[in-house]
Structure 1
């Protein structure tokens, strides 16, 4: 059976997110034929026959059987049920592997990346998923190179995306890559979304709260750091002294506990503090920097952009709850 690049298969699993189920059909239902672009055929199939549960108590029935996906040149798997449930059924696994082997592009949106990984399609490849589940994804699939700060990851004929809205980014990217910028931009205009968002999913990650122990010197130093983040003189030597450890011992024990160097962790916490201040106050940029432990906005900017993916001002414009500050 010949696979057509303009035939888009969408595989719905029982317990899928209703928002993510709707992403691919909405993106690919737009007819670009009148402008000389592609017209897509949509084949939405269920993992099994019969009604399928989705979020919000909504039940739906897919119009096509699983076998219909054997015609699709692109097979998209929206966010599946939460990880930790039963493994995907053998027919689903075989359908996805067969699609890839026959030249189709396979896409996992959000938790759909877990399905692709279970099918073995991500082994030896880079991939991402929703930030909440990145640790579990990393532990369950050690053969996958997990990208923690990306809205989507393109590995050629395998694409994975982060959270729900990032599914739109991944589908628009697929349109842009395979059918041109004009088609992707026209679709984005129809959906009233940005054709291409800057930054990764780090800008959407909530501030982590470390689980402090009572007697561990490293976690005590972490607690001290979080209580004194606005002190620009706070450095690693001071944290080591707080932990009553030599600098060398502190560095070693900190890496064992946190998986990164003390300086990397401290800079990350300061950037997280800056994100919070930017999104909740009207403070000028230099004041935001000082409240986060940087000497000024110039010193904060490169660290913020490296970790979050966008400049501080762009972050504020995207995430501030109220109107932008005057001036």
Structure 2
């Protein structure tokens, strides 16, 4: 029986080691890939300020209602923002503005930087009584303090009588403020897994393009924002205007008068391709040539599909001379580089826009040829802008990734996809890493087993270490329960949560050492060794050199090493049996009777 249990434990250890190896090998790449989706804002240089000052503002027609598209200061989903913007723009039925907390270049998905038309302060000054329509796309860190100005703006505009349209996960901006409590709403099918748990008072609905609940319209994933904007046109104009706008942007899924049903997206086994991509794909360095006259949806079709949730490319926004460009409906976009500055590290160069494809600028061709690149004009056919991009992802990566991209966009593909069915090379790499991790754990276990059998001291040393590790996890699990009762939101405060976990583990370990009869000095030393990594890492955390997540991962990893180091410094104490436990009275041993001669000698003295 003991042998069977041992074999089961060894099997579990090998499986865990294999999984840990696969996850660990992909963690660094995953963090880097996810971080590249929303690069930080551009530096506030004199050149950037000059670009902002020179960017023209839209003309205002008092006879038209006013709509705004709200942008976050740290990052906004490019398709959530630009797709509804273009729908309203082509209708010519609104004064239309992009607004952000400050009037400076702000990043959209993939590092596309836009100059907002107005700051929040300028908006309040121009429209003190509020606007008519507010488009609220998904912004980064929607529940954090950095997004508080956006949440406050939405509350103020609702109070002033505006109709708010949230796009995709932008619904969380309203949910976090309690503005959706008791109301019907929808969101991105993937985001709904978390939203339904975090905001149970909202009547969340799935599998529908949008939910019209009076002064709040919430839409499903990404491109459903087009339907939200078309619904606004139905309200403020009529269905014929909405139908023309849908045709103008190539959106064939328009459902007049009501929201269309969606196929019911859920997490499925093929969707694991996203995990392979984020952890193991070598993302292509993709140059994106910005040119005047490109439509807003054409830009969005490049920067969203290749980046967020697919991680197949890292875009670099360029123009031939680094100058900003004006989109078809008057938005100003700022490239981060000239083409020459980054040409040497690009794998591909794409040129979005049907206008650019029609022009086929010889200067672009010469620059690309000098860099050994063949420019790809993505929008050379008359079709919805996202269609050729999804086809390109299938052809250059694999069909599984392209299908996943369309699913996250909630976009019904019109084309047959061709290309490799699955990323087989990445799958083989993943399995090989898992096999090596499992084999290493198996070899380690049997190596240690053989060593401890022949050396009783080593066996006791390893036994002590394993006992203390188990006591650590027991302390973490048991002592965290009252914390969750006292402070249910502790997990939202990453640093405090990490330090409390470390303290709980230390208490569990110290209690076990006391139970095992270790000296007080050893317990104090081991406790200090466990806490030390976290205290040391607080310094680079305060300096901004590491993140909250790094504090947790690195702190716990180093804890095991510092524990081992403390044991090695006193290895004699950990390789021998300990005295009886403090609360257990030692058994008395009868001393042998002394000989009569000894007693006589003692009495004479």
TM over 0.5: yes
**Post-superposition shift, 1:320?**
7.1
Paired residues for 1:238-257 under 5 Å: none
State the Cα distance separating 1:6 from its structure 2 match.
1.7
Which residue is 2:203 aligned to?
145
Query: Pairwise mapping of residues 1-327 of structure 1 onto structure 2 (< 5 A)?
Result: 6-13=65-72, 14-32=74-92, 39-67=93-121, 68=123, 70=127, 71-81=130-140, 86-87=144-145, 89-194=147-252, 196-197=254-255, 199-207=260-268, 321=416
In structure 2, the partner of 1:274 is none
Asked whether the equivalents of residues 103 and 117 of structure 2 are also in contact (C-alpha less than 8 Å), the reply is no
| TM-score for the superposition, normalised by structure 1 | 0.57
Distance of aligned partners of 1:5 and 1:49 in 2 relative to their CA distance in 1, 3 Å threshold: same
Contact 1:8–1:41 under 8 Å retained in 2: yes
1:321 CA drift (Å): 2.7
Distance 2:99 2:156 in 1: 16
CA contact (8 A) 1:110 1:164 kept: yes
Equivalenced residue count is 209
CA displacement, residues 104-158 of structure 1 (integer Å, 9 cap, x when unaligned): 1011100111112122221111111111110101111121111012111110100
Does 88-97 or 173-182 show the bigger shift? 88-97
**Are the counterparts in 2 of residues 28 and 40 from structure 1 also a CA contact under 8 Å?**
yes
TM-score normalized by the length of structure 2: 0.32
- Between the aligned partners of 2:217 and 2:64, the Cα distance in structure 1 is 15
| Displacement after TM superposition at 1:178 (Å) | 2.9
| Counterpart-to-counterpart distance in 1, 2:253 and 2:242 | 7
Larger Rg: 2
Inter-partner Cα distance in structure 1 for 2:103 and 2:415: 45
Q: Which runs of 5+ in 1 are unaligned?
A: 33-38, 210-316
More helix by share: 2
* Structure 2: distance between partners of 1:181 and 1:321: 31
Conserved 8 A contact 1:96-1:119? no
Describe the SS at the equivalent of 2:263.
helix
Alignment RMSD: 3.0
**Cα distance in 2 for residues equivalent to 1:143 and 1:24:** 28
Alpha carbons of structure 1 residues 96 and 82: separation in structure 2 relative to 1, 3 Å:
closer
Distance in 1 (alpha carbons) for counterparts of 2:208 and 2:119: 33
Distance 1:91 1:199, change over 3 A: closer
CA shift digits 1:33-67 (9 cap, x unpaired): xxxxxx31012101344332221122222120114
